[in-house]
Structure 1
Amino acid sequence: MHRLIHFFKRNKIKSLVVLILLGAYYFCLPKTLFKDPTATVITSQSNELLGALIADDGQWRFPANDSVPEKFKTCILQFEDEYFYKHPGFNPVSIFKALKGNLSSGTIKRGGSTLTQQVIRLSRKGQSRTYFEKLKELILATRLEFRLSKDDILNLYASHAPFGGNVVGIDAASWRYFNRNAYNLSWAESATLAVLPNAPSLIYPGKNQIRLLEKRNRLLKKLHKNGTIDELTYKLSIAEGLPQKPYPLPQIAPHLLQKTAKKHKGKRVKTTVNIALQEQTNSIVKQHYNRLKQNEIYNISVLVLDVKTREVLTYVGNSPTDKAHQNSVDIIDKPRSTGSILKPFLYAAMLDAGDVLPNTLIADVPTQFGSYHPENYNQTYDGAVHANEALSRSLNVPIVNMLQEFGLDRFYHYLKALQLKDLKYNANHYGLSLILGGAESNLWDLCKSYAAMSSTLNHFNANSSQYFNNEFCQPIYNSKQSVDFGKLSTEKEVFDAASIYLTYESMKQVNRPQSDESWEYYDSSQEIAWKTGTSFGFRDAWAIGTTKDYVVGVWVGNADGEGRPGLVGVQAAAPILFEVFDLLPKSDWFAMPYDEMLEVNICKKSGYRASSICDETEMRYIQASGKKTEPCPYHKLVHLDASEQFQVNTSCEAISNIKNKSWFILPPLQAYYFKTKNPFYKPLPPYRADCTESIGTPMEFIYPNQQSTIYLPKDFDGNINELILKVAHSKPELELYWYVDSEYIGSTKDIHDMAILPSSGNHIITVIDELGNELKHKITISE
C-alpha cells in the first residue's frame, strides 16, 4: 500500500490519466440501455396471454421477460455465439476471422460480434457499422459484462432483437408468427426465430422462403450433430413448414386490457382472470349477442368476482359487436339506469334498522306521491304482500311504499356507504324514483357491493361473530395486489350479518327464467341469491347474483341508450347469468348468523311479531334489530253472537252471550285487492240489525288517487269518455251517495263504481254512506 501511494505521488499525471480512463470506462455505459416504448400486455392468473396493445411507436415489442425459453436459448447460442458463456463480452478469434475476411474482400461482410456486442448495437440505434463504432461496441460490451450476468444479457438480446416487420423480441415474435407462447415452441419454430434477427429485413416470414428454410435447417442439422436433438426430432423438425404471415394477437379480454393500459401503460401485468372461465363466458356472450341483435340489442357486459379474494375472474366489457354499435366501449364501469337492482339494498337497510321483518305485510294498492305514480310491472295489485315477497317478485308499489316509510334520506345514506360513485346528486334530486331506476350506477360498483355483503356474512360466521371494517373495498384484477379487509370489530360496516342473510333468503326465491324454472328439482343446481332490473323505457337489463363464493353481474342493452321491446332483466340478462353460474364450482348456501338473530313468535298472516290475539303463529328467526318492531296491527278482537254470523255489542246482547274472536282485518282499499288474490280472506261479519254499531274509517278511493290530474280520453268519434270513480267500502252492502262539487249525482250499492263526465278544472268528489261516514277527494280534469 505504501509503495502504491509512493507510485501515485511520483507519477501524478499518469495516475490522473488512469483514473480518468477508469472513470470514463465506469460511466460510459448508460444506466438504461433501452428506452423504447413497449406494448401493454396482460396475462391470466396462469400466465397465459389475454391480449396486448401495440407500443406507441407502432412496434410489437413486449416488455422484457425475466427469462429466455430453453429451446430458443440453445438455438440462438448455437447460431450466433457458441462461446457466449466463456468470453468477456467479445470473442478475439471471431473478431480476427471477421477482420481478415473483410480486409480480403474490401467490404464489411462479417461482423464477428458476440451477443453482448449485439445488445450494445441494438441499444445504439442508427449507428454506422464502422471499425470505430465496432471498437465502441467492444468497450461497452465489456462494461456490460461487469454490470449484468450472462443470463440477463441474453434476456436483453431476446427482448430487443428484431424479428422482421414491426415485430421486436422473442415474446412478440412467437405470438405473431406461431400464435403461441415462446415457451411452447417446437425446435423447428425456435430455430426459425433464432435465425431471423441475423437478417430480419431480408428473411421475412412469407418472403425469401428458400433462404429462410436453408438457414433454419442448417441450424437444426447442427443441433442434431452436437447431440442436442435426436434423429427423429431432427427429421420431424425439418419437415415443419415456415410461417407465412403474422397472426393477430389474442384478444380474450380486450376491455380489461384497455382498463389496465390506463394505469400500467407499456407494462406486463399478470391479472387475476381465469382464462378458461373468460373464454367460456366470451362464448356465452357471443351466442346471446347473435340472438339479441335480431332485436337490435347489441351490447352485453359480464363481470365475475371471487367473494373470498375479491379478484376479478372474468371481465367482458362488451359483446363482439361492431364499431357502429360502440364495440370498444367498456360498459362495466359506465353509469346506467339501475331499474330495480337497488331494491335488495333497501330491503337490507330496513331489516338492518329494525323497521321491518321479512314477512311484514306491505300495502300494494294504487298509490300516488304528489305527481309520482308508481305502478307494478304487470299493472295489477295484491292489496298487501309480505316484504320478502315484494322483493322476490320485484313489485314496485310495495317497494316505493317501503322507501316512503323508511325515509329517502336514510336510504340514501346507506347507498353512499356502499360507495356507489355514480350517485352524484342529493337524495331529493332522485326522489322516490331512486328505488325504481331514477339513479344511475355501474356493473363494477354493484358487483362490488354484493361481493362485500356476501363476504361480510362469510367473515361474520368464520370470525367469532366479528366484522371486518373494510369489507366494501374495490375488487382487484392485478395478481400482484391483494385485498386488505381491515381490522376485526364487533361493529358492522354497513349492514349486519342477519339483515344480509335474510335479504339473500328472499333473493333466493326470485323466479328463474323459463328455461331454468325447475332448478330446485335438480340435485346439481345450486342456490343463488339474485336480482334483475329493467330501466324505464327498456334501456337497461340487469341481472346480478351471488353465492357464498362468487358474484356474477350481467348488463344487456344498447350503449347509446336506445330502448327495445323485450329488453327486460329476466328475459335478456338472467339467462346469461345462470349460464355463467353453471361454469363455476358449486357453492354451499350461506350459514345462518345465529348470533345476530332472535327466534320469536310471528303472526303467520301479517308477518309481524305476534300479538296476544293472533290466531295462527309460528316461531321464526328474525334479525336482532327486529325486536323493536310493533306487534301485529291487523288482528282485532271482534265481538260476535252465538252463531258467529253477526257482530254484536252490549247495546244489543248480554255480555255473557258475546263471543270474542280474533279477526284478520285489512284497511278497505287493501282488502279490496287482497281478497281477489286470497279467496280465504274473510271480511268482518256485519252488525246485527238491532245493534248500534261504531265504525272507524270504512271506505277508501280505489280510483282516482288523491289530488291526481286526469286526462279524459276520446273515442273514435271524438267524444270524451266518462270518468269511472271507484270506492272500496268495508261494508259493500251499504248504499253510498255521490256528490261532485256539492251536487248530488247518484248512489251505488254492493259495487261502488260511479261514471261522471266532469268539466275541465278542479273538482271535489264527496261520498257519504248511509251511516253518515264521509270521504272527500280532490281531482283535476285536464283536456
Structure 2
Amino acid sequence: MNKIIGYIKKRKLRFSILAILLVAYYFCLPKQLFKSPTSTVITSSTNELIGAKIAADGQWRFPHNDSIPKKFKTCILQFEDEYFYKHPGFNPISIFKALKDNLTSGTVKRGGSTLTQQVIRLSRQGKPRTYLEKLKELILATRLELRDSKENILAYYSSNAPFGGNVVGLDAASWRYFNRSAYNLSWAESATLAVLPNAPSLIYPGKNENKLLNKRNRLLKKLLEKNIIDSLTYNLSIAEGIPQKPYPLPQIASHLLQKLSKSYEGEFIKTTIDASLQTHVNKIVKHHHAVLSQNQIHNAAVLVLDVKTRQVLAYVGNTPTSKKHQKHVDIIDKPRSTGSILKPFLYAAMLDTGDMLPHTLVADVPSQFGSYNPENFNKTYDGAIPASKALSRSLNVPSVRMLQEFGLDRFYHYLKALQLKDLKYNANHYGLSLILGGAESNLWDLCKSYAALASTINHFSETSSEYYSNEFCEPTLMASEIVDFGNIQSEKTLFDAASIYLTFESLKKVNRPEGNENWEFFDSSKQIAWKTGTSFGFRDAWAIGTTKDYVVGVWVGNADGEGRPGLVGVQTAAPILFEVFDLLPQSCWFNKPFDEMQKINICKQSGHRASPNCHDTEPVFVQQSGLKTKPCPYHVLIHVDKNESYQVNASCEKLSNIKHKSWFVLPPLMAYYYKTKNPFYKPLPKFRNDCLGEQVISMEFIYPKENNSIFLPKDFDGISNDMILKIAHSKPESTLFWYINETYIGNTKDIHEIAILPKQGKHTLTVVDEFGNEAKRYFEITK
C-alpha cells in the first residue's frame, strides 16, 4: 500500500491530469442532448393522430418517443449499423475502412460513424465534419454508451434524425410521407424511411426518386439475403412505390390543438377524443355551415361529453369558414349571450326549494316590471300555463314572472354554484333579464352543468340514494386524468335528484325541429332532455341536450356578434344537435328517483296540490319539497241556482234550490287571455239581479269619449304631448288592466288614469277589472 502511495506521489502531476481528464470525460456529455423545440401533438383516446402544430423553429419534429417499431429498427440497423449491439459507441473496423477510402480518393466518400456517433453529431447541430470533430464525436459516443442503454440511443436517433425538408424524426416522417403511424408501415415503407437520413438534403420524396428507390431496394435485398423477410414479402415490397410528396398532417381537432398548445407547448398529449366521432361531427358542422353561410351565418361550435366519465368525446371549436370570418377563433370557451338556455336551472331551483310543483299554473300575460317589458317570442299569451309547458315551450313572460317570484338573488346564488365563470357581475346588474339572456356564458360551462345534472340522477340511482360532493366538476380532455366526483354524502350537492328528473321530463317534451316532430311514435327514437336558446337581436343560437350517458352542446352564430334573421336555436342549432345524437349509442331514460319523491293528489286544472274544492284530481309523484306548496287557489266554492246560470244567495233563492259548486276561476288578466286558448273555460256566473247584498260593479270612461277624433298638441320642441286616459270604477280600490288594440299597456289602482302616446289612426281601448268586467272605447288620432 505504501508503495502504491509513493508511486502516486512521484507521479502526482500525471495522476492529477488523469483525474481531471476522467472528471471532464464524466461531465463532457450534456444531461439533455437535444434542446430543439418540438411540435405539439395530440392523439385520440386510442392513440390516433388528430392534430399537430409545427415546432417553433419551423420543423415538423415530434416530441421524443422511447418506443421504436420493430420493422424500422431492423431496417435502420441493417442499413446504418449492423454491429450496434456489439460496439462501445464506435466501430474501429468501419472507421479504418472509411479513413482508408477517403485518404485514397482525397475526398470524403464514406463515413464510419455508428448510430451512437450520429446521435452525438445530431445533438451538436451544424458542427463542421472535420477529423477533429469526428474525434470529439467518438469520445462523446463512448460516454453516451456508458450512460444510456442501446434502446435509448436508438430512440434518440429515431426521434431526431433528419428525413428531408423540414421533417425530423421517425414519427413526423411516417405521417408526412405515408399518412399513418410508424407502427403501421410496411417493410418497404420502413426501409424507405431507414435510408432517408443517410442523405436527407439530397434524397427526399419528390426529388431524385431513382436514387431513393435504389437505396430502398438494396436494403430490402439485404433483408432477404439475411432471411429477415421471405421472398414473397420481398417481391411485394419492391413493387411498392415511393411517396411523391408529403401529406398534410391530420387536423381533425384544430381548435382543441390550439387550446392545449397554450399549456402543453411541444408535448405529446393523449386526449379523450373519439377520433371517429370527431370526424363525423366535423362533417355535420361542415354541411350545416354550407347552408347557414347562405344567410351570412358563419360560425358554429359543438361539444360532446360523456356523462359518466366527464370526458370530452368531440370538440369542434368552429366551422371551416374563412379567416375573414374568424375561422381560428375557438367559440367553445368564449362568452356569449345565454338566451333561454338558463331557464331549466330556474325551473329546477323552484322545484328544489318547494316553490312550485311541476305542472303548477303560472301567469302568461302582458307584464311590465319598471321599464322592463318582456315578450314571448311569438308575441302571444296563454293567460295561464303549466310551468312544465312554459319551460318546454320556452315562454319568456312566465319565466320572468317565475324569476321575480323566486327572487333574483336567490336564483343568482344557484347559478354561481354552477361555477359559470362568465357570470362576473352581481345580480342587480343583470336584473330580471338574467333569465332571457341578460348574462353571458360559454358552451363549455353550460355543457358541464347539464352533464352534472344528468350525473346527479345517475349517481343517486347507483349509490342507494346518495350524492357525490364534487358533482359539478370540470370535464377532462386528458386521457390520463380520472375525474374525481368527491365523497359520497346524504346531502344534495345543489339540486335534489327528483327536481332534476322532473326538469328533464319537461325538457324531453320540447318540440323537436323539422323532421323529428313525431319522435315519440318511433321505438328507435332517442329520449333526450334538451333546450334551445336565442339571444336578443338573433346573435346567438343554442341547443343543449342530455341523455343518461351523453351531453351534446351546440352554438351557432357569428363570432363578431352580428345578428341575422333566422338565427334561432330551434332552426339552426337544434338540427345539428340531433344529427350528433344520431351518431351516439342509444341510451335508456333516467331512473326515477323514488326516494326523493312523494305521491300526492294534484288538481288536474291548476297543477297545485288538490284543495277540498278540487274535485278533478290525480295522484302523481312530485319532489318531496313540493309537499309544502300551497293548495290550489283557483278553485272556489260558489252558490248557484239549479241551472247553474247565476250566483244566488238566501236573499233571492230558497236554500233547497241553491247548489254548491266548485268553480275554476282565474284572475281577470289571466282569464282574459286564457279563454282565447281554452274555449271551454267558463267565467264565474254573475249574481242574479234580485239578489241582495252584492254590490253591482260598473265602469264608465271619463276620457276619451266614444268615437272621438283626437288631435294631440305639440310642445315648443315639436314633440307631441301624451294622451291621458281616464275611467271611473264603482270600486276604486280595484285593479284595472288597460289594453290598446289588444296590447297590454299597464294597470292602475285607486286612481285610474294612464298616459299613452298613440300613433295616428283608429284605436280600440279595452279595460278589464279584477272581477273580469270589461269596457271598450273606440277613438281616432288625427294630425
**Partner residue, 1:152:** 152
**Partner residue, 1:700:** 737
1:543-598, Cα deviation, whole Å (9 max, x unpaired): 00000110000011111111111111011010110110011111111111111111
**Partner residue, 1:133:** 133
CA distance in 1, matches of 2:207, 2:613: 93
Q: Contact 2:38/2:63 (CA < 8 Å) preserved in 1?
A: yes
Amino acid in the other structure paired with 2:46: S
Q: Contact 1:668/1:698 (CA < 8 Å) preserved in 2?
A: no
CA RMSD of aligned residues (A): 1.9
Q: How does 1:670-749 map to 2 (within 5 A)?
A: 670-692=670-692, 693=694, 697=734, 700-702=737-739, 703-706=744-747, 710-713=756-759, 720-728=760-768
1:699-749, Cα deviation, whole Å (9 max, x unpaired): 533432248875433xxxxxx2244322235777x7x6xxxxxxxxxxxxx
Change (3 A) 1:377 1:165: same
**Partner residue, 1:112:** 112
**Partner residue, 1:77:** 77
Q: Is 1:121 the equivalent of 2:134?
A: no
Change (3 A) 1:679 1:8: farther
**Partner residue, 2:704:** none
CA distance in 1, matches of 2:53, 2:756: 59
Aligned residues: 737
Q: Contact 2:735/2:747 (CA < 8 Å) preserved in 1?
A: no
Q: How does 1:519-558 map to 2 (within 5 A)?
A: 519-558=519-558
Q: Contact 1:179/1:249 (CA < 8 Å) preserved in 2?
A: yes
Query: How far did 1:66 drift?
Result: 2.3
1:758-778, Cα deviation, whole Å (9 max, x unpaired): 79xxxxxxxxxxxxxxxxxxx
Q: How does 1:335-374 map to 2 (within 5 A)?
A: 335-374=335-374
CA distance in 1, matches of 2:159, 2:411: 55
SS in 2 for 1:264: coil
Calculate the TM-score normalised by the size of structure 2. 0.91
Query: How far did 1:265 drift?
Result: 0.5
SS in 2 for 1:263: coil
Amino acid in the other structure paired with 2:545: G
Q: Contact 2:758/2:781 (CA < 8 Å) preserved in 1?
A: no
Calculate the TM-score normalised by the size of structure 1. 0.91
Q: Is 1:56 the equivalent of 2:56?
A: yes
Q: Contact 1:178/1:243 (CA < 8 Å) preserved in 2?
A: yes
Q: How does 1:640-655 map to 2 (within 5 A)?
A: 640-655=640-655
Query: How far did 1:115 drift?
Result: 0.4
Gaps of 5+ in 2: 698-730, 749-753
SS in 2 for 1:348: helix
Change (3 A) 1:9 1:624: farther
Higher mean C-alpha displacement, 102-111 vs 118-127:
102-111
**Partner residue, 1:771:** none
CA distance in 2, matches of 1:6, 1:576: 89
Change (3 A) 1:6 1:481: farther
Q: How does 1:215-614 map to 2 (within 5 A)?
A: 215-614=215-614
SS in 1 for 2:592: coil
Query: How far did 1:19 drift?
Result: 2.6
CA distance in 1, matches of 2:344, 2:217: 67
Q: Is 1:667 the equivalent of 2:667?
A: yes
CA distance in 2, matches of 1:731, 1:478: 63
CA distance in 2, matches of 1:596, 1:4: 88
Higher mean C-alpha displacement, 237-246 vs 341-350:
237-246
Query: How far did 1:354 drift?
Result: 1.0
Higher mean C-alpha displacement, 494-503 vs 695-704:
695-704
**Partner residue, 2:707:** none
Query: How far did 1:633 drift?
Result: 0.4
Q: Is 1:193 the equivalent of 2:193?
A: yes
CA distance in 2, matches of 1:699, 1:691: 25
Change (3 A) 1:17 1:301: same
Higher mean C-alpha displacement, 483-492 vs 41-50:
483-492
Q: Contact 1:368/1:706 (CA < 8 Å) preserved in 2?
A: no
CA distance in 1, matches of 2:747, 2:675: 23
CA distance in 2, matches of 1:689, 1:364: 34
Query: How far did 1:531 drift?
Result: 0.2
1:634-675, Cα deviation, whole Å (9 max, x unpaired): 000101123322211122234343221111100111111111
Change (3 A) 1:306 1:8: farther
CA distance in 1, matches of 2:635, 2:6: 113
Query: How far did 1:452 drift?
Result: 0.8
Query: How far did 1:469 drift?
Result: 1.3
Change (3 A) 1:653 1:243: same
Q: Contact 1:26/1:143 (CA < 8 Å) preserved in 2?
A: yes
Higher mean C-alpha displacement, 472-481 vs 6-15:
6-15
Higher mean C-alpha displacement, 501-510 vs 182-191:
182-191
Query: How far did 1:515 drift?
Result: 0.8
Query: How far did 1:5 drift?
Result: 6.4
1:497-527, Cα deviation, whole Å (9 max, x unpaired): 1111111010000010111111111111111
Query: How far did 1:460 drift?
Result: 1.4
1:200-230, Cα deviation, whole Å (9 max, x unpaired): 0011211111111111111111111111222
**Partner residue, 1:779:** none
Change (3 A) 1:19 1:731: closer
Q: Contact 2:639/2:648 (CA < 8 Å) preserved in 1?
A: yes
Change (3 A) 1:612 1:302: same
CA distance in 1, matches of 2:117, 2:33: 13
1:422-473, Cα deviation, whole Å (9 max, x unpaired): 1111111111111111111110010000011111111111112221111111
Q: Contact 1:698/1:731 (CA < 8 Å) preserved in 2?
A: no
Change (3 A) 1:541 1:14: same
Change (3 A) 1:2 1:332: farther
Q: How does 1:199-214 map to 2 (within 5 A)?
A: 199-214=199-214
